[in-house]
Amino acid sequence: LFHRERQLVADAMAANRAAALAELGTRFERDAQQREIELRSRDNAVQAAQLANRERAQRVWALLAAVALLAVVLIVLLLRRMRETQRELKSRQAALRVQSERDTLTGLANRRHFQQAMAEHSKRDASGGFCGSLLLVDIDHFKHINDGHGHGVGDSVLVEVARRLVAAVREGDLVARWGGEEFIVFAPGIG
């Protein structure tokens, strides 16, 4: 009986030990599975965060590319506009220069342009002196034309005199309106 009881106790202890080991193994496996699930969940979260970061980075690069393209387009448009504005400005400056150098009534050079042309001619001449001829033309009794026939007729006379002077001189000669009814002609190269 003693041996049998001992055998039963040993079998019960072995069964208890096996049950305890099985329970510990089951609990260990469950804990291992739980840890594995948590690790995989963390890995999934990390991978999702990496994918989200890549997506954000792609969006940022796409936005930067769009902004750069827009900036290039704006710069090109601004450069075109600036060139057009510069062309228009040069055109207007040339028109203003012509207006500032021309007599509005006769279309001849005015006194300022004549003086500039003379200064340039003096600079070009090797001797530094004056080489050419000057002819001063004055319309006699012009005041009587204006007083007797009106300023409109006087203007017509000035225009016609200017036209005839230009027709009478050489191509390189400069005809300018010096004052009211006075004209001046510069003929370079003639003594």
User: Catalytic residue numbers?
Assistant: 181
Dist. CA 153–CA 75, nearest whole Å? 57
CA dist 33 and 189 (Å) reads 113
- Cβ 120 vs Cβ 177: under 8 Å: no
- Element containing residue 13 per DSSP (H, E): helix 2-101
The sign of the torsion formed by the CA atoms of 126, 127, 132, 136 equals: positive
Residues in the chain: 191
